Amino acid sequence: MSDLKQAIKQNYVKCANDPSYFINQYCTIQHPQRGKIKFKLYDFQFDVLEEYQKHDYNVILKSRQLGISTLSAAYALWMMLFQNDKNILVIATSKDTAKNLITKVRIMYEALPAWLKTAIVENNKLSLIFKNGSQIKAIASNESAGRSEALSLLILDEAAFIDKIDVIWTAAQQTLATGGRCLAISTPNGVGNWFHKTWQDAENETNKFNTIKLHWTCHPERNQEWRDEQDKNLGPSQAAQECDADFLSSGRSVVDPAILEWYKEKMCCEPTEKSGFDRNLWIWGYPDYSKNYLICADVARGDGTDYSTAQVFDLEEMEQVAEYKGQLGTTEFGNFLIELATKYNDALLVVENNNIGWATLQTIIDRGYENLFYQEKNHLVVDEDNKHSNRYRHIDKNKIPGFTTTLKTKPLIVAKMEEYTREKMVKLKSTRLIDELFVFIYKNSKTEALEGYNDDLVMSYSILLWIRDTAIRIQSERSELQSSMLGAIGTLNERTPIMTNDHKPKNNPYEIDINGEKEDLSWLLG
């Protein structure tokens, strides 16, 4: 009997000192086909546990069905059994997912030999509390998740898919400050979200996290035949997300992230000048008075959560020459746009008229800027229910100023933007714009910015491409301006650019080369 007690004591000490030994020898898992079986660790799982022990903060980028959540549940159980007063919190995408991890811990605990168990004081679907003061709780994601007492271990399960995780992490960091650990586990879900940024920062050694990447090939029972089967079952896009642990091939971003990476590497650059009082006007190309320019602006809602933006493009070369992103008031933004448009050859100025965009348009109209974009009221892209339209007068009463983004027009302009960007038909210079495109995603059959991000630059860029493309189509078809999407008030008067006499236009700014022939596009302006 004494020999048995001694053997148990030795095994207990070994379990307490080595989580890999404890899990491999005594933990049980629920297999979907084989029922309850011993948890026999693969080599890569031993390696992961070693990383858990060596580092307080770990971010795990993984393929599907590698047993990492189960492994983390076993690690949590080990911590609770052999260390007193450990407080473990699991945050997942839903209550069911969170409950699932607690269930794994419970199954493992119940199958342990009696000499490894400790008394339970609370046992329910979402929590498990031991007599030694250690406990594990699971909750679904919400903004208050993580605002609790000091944590010993935080497990973020499928972290790339947790709503409002930025807010959650801000709160949780404070609870980990006294020596807590964190496991952020997930398959990839596109780029630009908290999980992707955390991974990137960890790779660049600008945060506390250690990186663990688990490609599908790390599993010894998987081969290319298995990977091909995933393509058939899930589809290439979903399979890439679930199996390859590759951010760029995952997610539902509108523009292929690989294309955006190409722009960032090959075209984007620092602006030649950062202008304006807030230095938010970025300039890559100064006005060339032999060229035509197009400016599109998106006006902030005014609640402080978004930005007013403007894109300036060389109409012929489709090259981005300037960009603004800031939080000017509606009147100030209107004055700014007039100055900007005047500087760039009295550019055709397109302003989105949704929400308080009307106030900015009113400033532009009151100051008499002539080359302003108007639309026909009865056109597809005009919001017929817009109550403000009658406030603005035009020589043609069927026209209203600005561009209206509606449920009908947004899919059209976004599709045009995706096509132009994918085919590399534009010369983009702005990293700010590219960063917004990374997090501009499909969600519930709609397009929008990822939670916590903005798409203001994306929208001004998208509208610009739609307007430009429409102009070229109209020109090629020799359609009448009055029936087109592009309209502008007034007639061409003598230009009075705000420049010195040394910079007067030498040529007609509206004359461009089309298929080897000079073509005067001044007819577009009425």
Return the pLDDT at 520.
59
433 or 476, which is more confident: 433
**231 in the same domain as 299:** no
**368 in the same domain as 226:** no
The string of pLDDT tens digits covering residues 173-219 is 888 888 899 999 998 887 778 898 899 899 989 999 999 999 999 99
Return the pLDDT at 7.
84
**192 in the same domain as 125:** yes
* DSSP calls for 181-246: EEEEEE----SSSHHHHHHHHHHTT-SSPEEEEE-GGGSTT--HHHHHHHHHHH-HHHHHHHHS--
Return the pLDDT at 503.
37
* DSSP calls for 286-297: ---TTS-EEEEE
Asked, for residue 248, whether it belongs to a domain, the answer is no
Treating both helix axes as pointing N-terminal to C-terminal, what angle do 257-266 and 431-438 enclose, rounded to 10 degrees?
170
Q: What is the mean pLDDT of the chain?
A: 82
**302 in the same domain as 176:** no
Contacts of 130 (CB under 8 A, 6+ apart): 80, 81, 118, 119, 120, 121
467 or 477, which is more confident: 467
CA quadruple 148, 149, 154, 160: dihedral, nearest 10: 20
Residue 8 tokens read as: 């148990």
| Cα 225 off chain centre by | 33
pLDDT at 16 over 50: yes
Return the pLDDT at 145.
56
Q: Which residue range(s) make up the domain with 126? A: 16-243
For 268, phi then psi, to 5°, come to: -65, 145
Fill in the amino acid letter for 103. T
| Contact call for residues 394 and 401 (beta carbons, < 8 A) | yes
pLDDT at 52 over 80: yes
pLDDT at 486 over 60: no
The string of pLDDT tens digits covering residues 36-45 is 889 999 999 9
| Contact call for residues 250 and 279 (beta carbons, < 8 A) | no
pLDDT at 502 over 50: no
The string of pLDDT tens digits covering residues 268-310 is 999 999 998 779 999 999 999 899 999 999 998 766 778 999 9
Q: Highest-confidence range of 20-24, 138-142, 148-152, 387-391, by mean pLDDT?
A: 20-24
Taking residues 1-25, what's their average pLDDT?
Answer: 88
Return the pLDDT at 476.
47
Return the pLDDT at 507.
53
* Per-residue pLDDT band at 322 (split at 50, 70, 90): very high
**311 in the same domain as 184:** no
Nearest to 429 by CA among 242, 288, 283, 257: 283
Return the pLDDT at 86.
93
Determine whether 436 is exposed, middle or buried from the number of CB atoms within 10 Å of its CB (0-12, 13-18, 19+): buried
The CATH number linked to 353 is 3.30.420.240
Asked, for residue 512, whether it belongs to a domain, the answer is no
Asked, for residue 278, whether it belongs to a domain, the answer is no
| Contact call for residues 235 and 243 (beta carbons, < 8 A) | no
Cα separation, 91 vs 390, in Å, equals 52
Question: Which uninterrupted H or E stretch holds 462?
Answer: helix 456-477
**304 in the same domain as 189:** no
Determine whether 477 is exposed, middle or buried from the number of CB atoms within 10 Å of its CB (0-12, 13-18, 19+): exposed
Asked, for residue 5, whether it belongs to a domain, the answer is no
Return the pLDDT at 519.
59
Among residues of the chain, what percentage have pLDDT more than 90? 50
Strand 153-157 relative to strand 87-92: parallel, antiparallel, unpaired?
parallel
**297 in the same domain as 236:** no
Return the pLDDT at 288.
94
**372 in the same domain as 486:** yes
Considering 243, 266, 301, which residue would you say is the last residue of a domain? 243
* DSSP calls for 162-174: -TTHHHHHHHHHH
Considering 211, 243, 275, which residue would you say is the last residue of a domain? 243
Place of tokens 């307490």: 16
Taking residues 465-493, what's their average pLDDT?
Answer: 51
**77 in the same domain as 221:** yes
Asked, for residue 85, whether it belongs to a domain, the answer is yes
**403 in the same domain as 304:** yes
Return the pLDDT at 453.
81
Q: Which contacts of 260-266 are long-range, i.e. CB under 8 A and separated by 24 or more positions?
A: 260/421, 260/434, 260/437, 260/438, 262/424, 263/421, 263/424, 263/428, 263/434, 264/431, 264/434
Return the pLDDT at 142.
63
> How many CA within 13 A on the CB side of residue 187?
17
| Contact call for residues 64 and 250 (beta carbons, < 8 A) | no
Determine whether 444 is exposed, middle or buried from the number of CB atoms within 10 Å of its CB (0-12, 13-18, 19+): exposed
**295 in the same domain as 213:** no
The CATH number linked to 59 is 3.40.50.300
Asked, for residue 283, whether it belongs to a domain, the answer is no
pLDDT at 172 over 50: yes
Entry pTM: 0.61
Among residues of the chain, what percentage have pLDDT more than 70? 82
Asked, for residue 261, whether it belongs to a domain, the answer is no
Fill in the amino acid letter for 27. C
Q: How many domains does one find in the chain? A: 2
**340 in the same domain as 224:** no
Return the pLDDT at 509.
53
For 89, phi then psi, to 5°, come to: -125, 135
Return the pLDDT at 404.
87
Considering 204, 226, 243, which residue would you say is the last residue of a domain? 243
Asked, for residue 514, whether it belongs to a domain, the answer is no
Fill in the amino acid letter for 410. K
Q: Which contacts of 193-197 are long-range, i.e. CB under 8 A and separated by 24 or more positions?
A: 193/160, 193/165, 193/439, 193/450, 194/159, 194/160, 194/162, 194/165, 194/166, 194/169, 195/59, 195/159, 195/160, 195/165, 196/160, 196/247
481 or 396, which is more confident: 396
Cα separation, 125 vs 140, in Å, equals 13
Strand ranges (E), 388-480:
399-401, 440-443, 446-449
Cα separation, 223 vs 218, in Å, equals 10
Question: Which uninterrupted H or E stretch holds 258?
Answer: helix 257-266
